[in-house]
Amino acid sequence: MDNRPVGPRQARELLRVAFGPSIIALVLIAAVVLIQLLIANSEMTGAFGATASMWLGVHLVPVSIGGAELGVLPLLPTLVMIWGTARTTAAATSPQSSWFVTRWVVGSALGGPLLIAAICLAVVHDAASVLTDLQTPNALRAFGSVLAVHAIGAAVGVGSRVGRRLLDASPLPEWLPDAIRAATAGVLALLGLSGAVAAGSLIVHWSTMHDLFGITESTFGQLSLAALSILYIPNVLVGTAAVAVGSSAHIGLATFSSFTVFGGDIPALPVLAAVPTPPLGPVWVALLIVAAVSGVAIGQQCARRPLPLLPALLKLVVAAALAAVTMALLGHAGGGRLGNFGDVGVDQTTFGPAVFLWFVAIGGLTVAMSGGVARRPKAPKPAPEPEPEAQPESEPEPELEADDDGDVEPEPEPEPSEETAADTSAGVDEHVPAEAPATLEDLEEHFLVDDDAMPDTAKRPRNGDD
């Protein structure tokens, strides 16, 4: 890990994270405001107030001019701001950075924009004392919106660098990154296909779009309408996605869905020529195919790494929930009040649940058909036990026969054969005599008695002998 103290290089990176995206946005906004004032031959009195208001508007802070609230702000500048914050925080964070350095990076990404927001609120409040039509926005709403935008960007940037290490150190399941990747694929597929449908609708309603560009005769005015339409393209895509999943979008009293269309007054913005006009033709029912294809995309991403049934189902549910929350946040951010036209946005009560149901149903079917559910391994068969070795048969014990008295006598042992006797004698020690010593009677034959040694003439009868 990089535990080195914060030096000049780290200080420069933290300053870039804190003020880089916000300063760039302020410079671009100031350039646009100055060009507008110069073309309109207007005084530069409200330049600072307009620049500060537009910077807050980039962070989805409603702007009030002449008592009319502009709450429907373009999403494209907000998404660019999130991308800029994510990029700077990712560049300042190393995968081996310590948590101390990471906290400093996140704190800088949030602290710098909040400081600029406070300055912009002060500038707007000061300009409102001169320009009575300009009103100071709600401070709590302003700080909350700025904090939310940059917190999302910082989470994306830092998570892309240390997210894997954080997941490894946490008890979260290993398939969570795959679920996040699948949710991203589902959201991008839904928005991309919705963009294709909106582009096709603009081609069909080309004459209406041409008429909307004709409300101004100046080239600069038409360029301004074209630029404003480009900034509002993400809002149109979110509304088209709401219609595609079975929910609805509304602009004031005008309501649009896949089944019914209720007409009403629509702002003269060329990109809004893509909205359908009553009566609704059957071609709009084909929008449901967009939701189905997006469900297939999220299912294919979930099936990349097969898992057992329960983890595979949990991964799909988590991915669908993340995608539904993301689309619901986009729908909330892209809506609001538009002056006299009323509320503009999507039906929040049905938009998020509809996205979740489509992704779970079609995504689950795709996972099952794509082999995303791993089969359980078969239990190994037990190894056959080795057969016991054949034991040599023991010789049967000799049967005992009973005599006449009923007593059992053992059979007499067989006499050893000559070969057996020879083998036995061969094993006897040579120093041991083979024959037993003679008896005493045999030895007497080798002894001489006195009577036998004397001659016959010398023998005399004893007294008493006849």
Domain boundaries, the chain: 7-171, 173-374
pLDDT, the chain, mean:
80
Q: What is the mean pLDDT of residues 301-305?
A: 89
Mean pLDDT is lowest, of 118-127, 177-186, 304-313, 389-398, for 389-398
Distance of CA 373 to the CA centre of its chain: 16
Upper half-sphere CA count for residue 243 (Cβ side, 13 Å): 29
Band of pLDDT at residue 196, cut at 50, 70 and 90: very high
Which residues lie below 8 Å from residue 410, measured CB to CB, with a gap of 6+? Answer: 398, 400
Is pLDDT larger for residue 398 or for residue 77? Answer: 77
456: tokens are 């016959």
Per-residue pLDDT at 22: 92
Spatial distance between the Cα atoms of 110 and 271, rounded to a whole number of angstroms: 34
The DSSP string of 56-89 is HHHTT--EEETTEEE----HHHHHHHHHHHHHHH
> Could you report the per-residue pLDDT of 275-290, keeping only the tens digit for each?
887 776 666 677 788 9
| DSSP helix/strand/coil, 402 | strand
Spatial distance between the Cα atoms of 364 and 322, rounded to a whole number of angstroms: 15
**pLDDT greater than 50 at residue 462:** no
270 cis-preceded (ω within 30 degrees of 0): no
pLDDT over 90 percentage in the chain: 37
Per-residue pLDDT at 192: 93
Helix 75-92 × helix 233-244 angle, to 10°: 100
Spatial distance between the Cα atoms of 458 and 160, rounded to a whole number of angstroms: 148
Per-residue pLDDT at 443: 47
**pLDDT greater than 90 at residue 447:** no
**pLDDT greater than 60 at residue 421:** no
| DSSP helix/strand/coil, 316 | helix
Spatial distance between the Cα atoms of 97 and 62, rounded to a whole number of angstroms: 38
Amino acid (one-letter) located at 177: P
Per-residue pLDDT at 181: 92
Per-residue pLDDT at 120: 93
Task: Tell me the range of 197-201, 320-324, 399-403, 437-441 where mean pLDDT is highest.
Answer: 320-324
Band of pLDDT at residue 81, cut at 50, 70 and 90: very high
Spatial distance between the Cα atoms of 159 and 167, rounded to a whole number of angstroms: 10
Is pLDDT larger for residue 190 or for residue 277? Answer: 190
**pLDDT greater than 70 at residue 6:** no
Mean pLDDT is lowest, of 20-29, 67-76, 405-414, for 405-414
Spatial distance between the Cα atoms of 193 and 178, rounded to a whole number of angstroms: 22
Phi first, then psi, for residue 76 (nearest 5°) are: -60, -45
Distance of CA 177 to the CA centre of its chain: 2
Residue position matching structure tokens 């710098």: 112
Q: What is the mean pLDDT of residues 33-51?
A: 82
Mean pLDDT is lowest, of 112-116, 132-136, 223-227, 252-256, for 132-136
Band of pLDDT at residue 230, cut at 50, 70 and 90: very high
Per-residue pLDDT at 293: 93
Neighbours of 419 (CB within 10 A): 8
Spatial distance between the Cα atoms of 272 and 204, rounded to a whole number of angstroms: 13
Spatial distance between the Cα atoms of 141 and 313, rounded to a whole number of angstroms: 39
| DSSP helix/strand/coil, 261 | strand
User: pTM for this structure?
Assistant: 0.76
Q: Under a CB-based contact definition with an 8 Å cutoff, are residues 239 and 290 in contact?
A: no
Per-residue pLDDT at 390: 54
Amino acid (one-letter) located at 417: S
Q: Describe the chain by its helix, strand, coil percentages, rounded to 5.
A: 60, 5, 35
Per-residue pLDDT at 323: 95
**pLDDT greater than 70 at residue 437:** no
Q: Is the dihedral of CA 444, 446, 449, 452 positive or negative?
A: positive
Spatial distance between the Cα atoms of 103 and 225, rounded to a whole number of angstroms: 42
Per-residue pLDDT at 431: 45
Spatial distance between the Cα atoms of 193 and 289, rounded to a whole number of angstroms: 10
Is pLDDT larger for residue 381 or for residue 235? Answer: 235
Band of pLDDT at residue 128, cut at 50, 70 and 90: confident
**pLDDT greater than 70 at residue 396:** no
Spatial distance between the Cα atoms of 138 and 141, rounded to a whole number of angstroms: 5
> Could you report the per-residue pLDDT of 130-166, keeping only the tens digit for each?
776 778 888 999 999 999 999 999 999 998 888 788 8
Is pLDDT larger for residue 423 or for residue 245? Answer: 245
Is pLDDT larger for residue 449 or for residue 337? Answer: 337
Per-residue pLDDT at 307: 86
**pLDDT greater than 80 at residue 442:** no
Band of pLDDT at residue 440, cut at 50, 70 and 90: very low
Phi first, then psi, for residue 101 (nearest 5°) are: -65, -40
DSSP single-letter state for residue 338: B
**pLDDT greater than 70 at residue 339:** yes
Neighbours of 147 (CB within 10 A): 15
Q: Which of 291, 377, 363 is nearest to 327 (CA)?
A: 291
Helix 309-333 × helix 233-244 angle, to 10°: 130
Q: How many angstroms separate the first and last alpha carbons of the chain?
A: 144
Is pLDDT larger for residue 340 or for residue 150? Answer: 150
Per-residue pLDDT at 381: 59
**pLDDT greater than 50 at residue 432:** no
Per-residue pLDDT at 190: 94
Residue position matching structure tokens 């009923």: 406
Spatial distance between the Cα atoms of 317 and 321, rounded to a whole number of angstroms: 6
Q: Which of 12, 161, 24 is nearest to 84 (CA)?
A: 24
Q: How far is CA 234 from each of CA 11, 73, 192, rounded to the nearest angstrom?
A: 36, 11, 10
Per-residue pLDDT at 389: 57
For residue 401, the surrounding DSSP H or E stretch is strand 401-402
Q: Which of 62, 80, 82, 36 is nearest to 124 (CA)?
A: 62
282: tokens are 């059957």
Band of pLDDT at residue 220, cut at 50, 70 and 90: confident
Q: What is the mean pLDDT of residues 231-259?
A: 90
